[in-house]
Amino acid sequence: MYGEDPTINQLQELAAEKMGKQAGLFVASGTMGNLIAVLSTCQRGDEVIVGKKNHLFVHEAGGISALGGIHSNQIKNQLDGSLLLEDVAAAIRPDDLHEPVTRLVCLENTHNGCGGVYQTPAYIRQVAEFAHVRGLSVHLDGARIFNAAVAQGVPASELTGPVDSVTFCLSKGLCAPVGSVLCGTMPFIAKARRLRKMLGGGMRQAGILAAAGMVALERMVDRLDEDHARAKSLADGLRLVPGLKLDPKIPATNMVFLSLRADVQCTTDELIEKLRERGVLIGTTGERQYRLVTHYWIEDKGVEKTIAAFRSVLG
């Protein structure tokens, strides 16, 4: 909080450099980072354009509205997680005192709700240019931005450089125990620092957390392609299990989404429990729909065990 911890400062500087930004701010979570970004950009009564399936809208407890008094205008995500420019254009409010002021466009990369798919540098640049010409800012929820970068063989800065602010997680695929970093301009981060304090995010002796974040950025990015390869192996194996349905485009990165076919006589909870008995834990995304995520602690034998468990239950 005082700006004196050398490890925190080093982490923030490294994060900003990798995102192509002037400054960074260590925060407790991606949700906190996204909330601070929106609060730093918008006034009460302003409006944010966001996809209906974006994490910021679906999974962050309505924080921008409850805590910021900021309205959201939700538009349709395409199958690849993107927002059509014509939909963004149609959502921008006219200069009318009856309506909220459109201030911000929010993107997500990789896109959790659309299957772990990624957005391209060209698309991010296109949206940013489109928004900036119209006086709007762009925030990127880049919780898994390094997965998107590794999958496309580009530096993360190519995906984040065009936007005004970006949040990314040090945990998840990068393996740190906790923490995210919000990056943007110096004035933006100065405002964000005050908001972090307001939200209770100022931490004492946080250098040990930042040290784990440094390891995450310096040693864990280049190995993400291992997670992607294991996710592909997992998906390939599960496609051969009777009763499972997988999108042929899945996985784009490290997430495997699947569902039970209509003729399978098994409820959502029954499948979860039967797999648990076999040492496999899975998450649900809907009725008879599931998400499996590969990461540092999932090895090849874990992939094989998971496929065998599904086959045992459904075969």
Instruction: Show pLDDT as tens, one digit a residue, over the chain (315 residues).
Output: 888 999 999 999 999 999 999 999 999 999 999 999 999 999 999 999 999 999 999 999 999 999 999 999 999 999 999 999 999 999 999 999 999 999 999 999 999 999 999 999 999 999 999 999 999 999 999 999 999 999 999 999 999 999 999 999 999 999 999 999 999 999 999 999 999 999 999 999 999 999 999 999 999 999 999 999 999 999 999 999 999 999 888 899 999 999 999 999 989 999 999 999 999 999 899 999 999 999 999 999 999 999 999 999 998
Q: How far is residue 282 from each of residues 48, 144, 189, 290, measured CA to CA in Å? A: 33, 20, 37, 7
Q: Where are the alpha helices (DSSP H) in the chain?
A: 6-19, 30-41, 55-58, 63-66, 85-91, 121-133, 145-152, 156-160, 186-198, 207-219, 224-238, 268-277, 300-314
Q: What pLDDT score does 83 carry?
A: 98
Token pair for 96: 């009318």
DSSP 3-state assignment of 35? Answer: helix
185's enclosing H/E stretch is none
Give the three-state DSSP class for 290. strand
- What pLDDT does residue 248 have? 85
**Residue 249: what pLDDT?**
83
Three-class SS state of 45: coil
Note the pLDDT of residue 2.
Answer: 85
pTM to 2 decimal places: 0.96
**pLDDT at residue number 109:** 98
Distance, CA of 109 to CA of 60 (rounded, Å): 16
| Residue 48: closest CA among 66, 70, 76 | 70
pLDDT at 129 (0 to 100): 98
One-letter identity of residue 148: A
Q: What is the pLDDT of residue 247?
A: 86
